[in-house]
Amino acid sequence: MHNNIFFIIGSSGSGKTTIVELIRDMKIPNLVVCRSDSMKVPTTEEIIKKYGSMEKWQEINTSNWVKNIKEKYLSNCSVVFDIQSRPSFIDEACKNNNIRNYKIILFDCSDEERKRRLIKERKQPHLANDQMMDWARYLREKCAEHCCIIDNTNLTIIENVNKLLIIIND
């Protein structure tokens, strides 16, 4: 049996981090949880100066994370990885690191629900903007063909966890 990387992606307000933290707290044997948010993110100005664009920074960091996950964990266990990245960057990073056993899982919800979560639950109204809705729409379109999509607009947290566990255990 091969160990897998399960890439959990989604725009802010999609519920991905909440679900990933619950999976981590379950302490499932042979499953490690990693979060890209655990690294310090440079300012936009620093990113532009060093990488030229936010996209290039995201691409390079996705590749670095995948390389590190492979070296540190994949020989012994599977990994759930919470990351803000484009599916194409994930595919390329896995290809470059000779990783075939991975799944990209998009956590998604309606724009209305995303706005509600960002404004009322997270108290981050500045994230409930057109740019975030465009990012969510982009991810939805790019994931439609070859990724698992969990639309959690009307799901409870436990239902989300169970859906993810089914994918991980499949």
Q: Distance (Å, rounded) from C-alpha 104 to C-alpha 44?
A: 26
The pLDDT of residue 38 is above 80: no
- Provide the residue range defining the domain that includes 86: 5-169
If one counts the domains in the chain, the total is 1
Q: Edge to edge, what strands does the sheet with 78-82 contain?
A: 31-35, 78-82, 5-9, 102-108, 148-151
To the question of pTM greater than 0.85 for the whole model, the response is yes
CATH code, domain carrying 13? 3.40.50.300
pLDDT in the model for residue 148: 95
pLDDT in the model for residue 94: 97
Q: Tens digit of pLDDT for each residue in 62-93?
A: 999 999 999 999 999 999 999 999 999 999 99
With contact defined as beta carbons under 8 Å apart, do 165 and 3 qualify? no
pLDDT in the model for residue 37: 74
Average pLDDT over residues 2-27: 94
Local confidence band at 39 (pLDDT 50, 70, 90 cut-offs): low
pLDDT in the model for residue 157: 93
Local confidence band at 51 (pLDDT 50, 70, 90 cut-offs): confident
pLDDT in the model for residue 124: 93
Show the tokens assigned to 3: 């160990």
1 three-state secondary structure: coil
The pLDDT of residue 1 is above 60: no
Q: Tens digit of pLDDT for each residue in 101-129?
A: 999 999 999 999 999 999 999 999 999 99
Q: Distance (Å, rounded) from C-alpha 112 to C-alpha 90?
A: 28
The pLDDT of residue 162 is above 80: yes
Place of tokens 């691409």: 59
